[in-house]
């Protein structure tokens, strides 16, 4: 019986949705997620995203769990430029690395970038896992600012 339920949920959460899909097509997966999160059994739920046919995940956390266990590190405001069957291209429009006193996101007005602080400094850039990585001459990763 568990295998049948798992198979049914997998089918439900990974069905192909056309881009013009109406919200009602997500009603069943939303109902399943709401049901599981309404219980006291889970503080969160990780489930495959319908739009990417299960090749990416959604994460839903209860606010009280997030407040106790998560720390803000960074936010990115992005524009989705193109969508493929299993891929997408985005442009980062803005970034934030801090929150205000009341929890609001403090946008910086720019995307991340690297700045050479001293004349003669060198950074070596490579792409790893679809992200730019900068290293100094000693091979240490240099985080963008």
| Predicted pLDDT at 101 | 95
Specify the pTM.
0.61
Give long-range contacts, CB 8 A cutoff, 24+ apart: 76-85. Answer: 76/111, 77/107, 83/19, 85/53
Q: Where are the alpha helices (DSSP H) in the chain?
A: 2-13, 27-38, 63-69
Nearest-angstrom CA–CA distance, 131 and 42: 33
Average pLDDT by stretches of 10, the chain with 145 residues:
73 64 65 81 81 72 92 94 81 95 95 86 91 91 89
Q: What is the DSSP letter of 100?
A: -
């Amino acid at each position: 019986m568990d295998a049948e339920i798992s198979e049914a949920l997998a089918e439900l959460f990974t069905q192909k949705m056309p881009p013009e899909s109406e919200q009602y097509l997500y009603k069943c997966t939303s109902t399943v997620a709401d049901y599981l999160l309404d219980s006291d059994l889970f503080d969160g739920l990780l489930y495959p995203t319908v739009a990417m046919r299960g090749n990416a995940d959604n994460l839903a956390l209860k606010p009280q769990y997030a407040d106790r266990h998560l720390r803000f590190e960074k936010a990115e405001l992005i524009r989705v430029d193109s969508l493929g069957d299993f891929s997408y291209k985005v442009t980062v429009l803005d970034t934030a690395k801090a929150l205000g006193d009341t929890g609001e996101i403090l946008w910086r007005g720019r995307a991340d970038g690297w700045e050479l602080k001293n004349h003669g400094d060198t950074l070596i850039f490579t792409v790893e896992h679809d992200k730019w990585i900068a290293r100094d001459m000693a091979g240490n990763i240099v985080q963008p600012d």
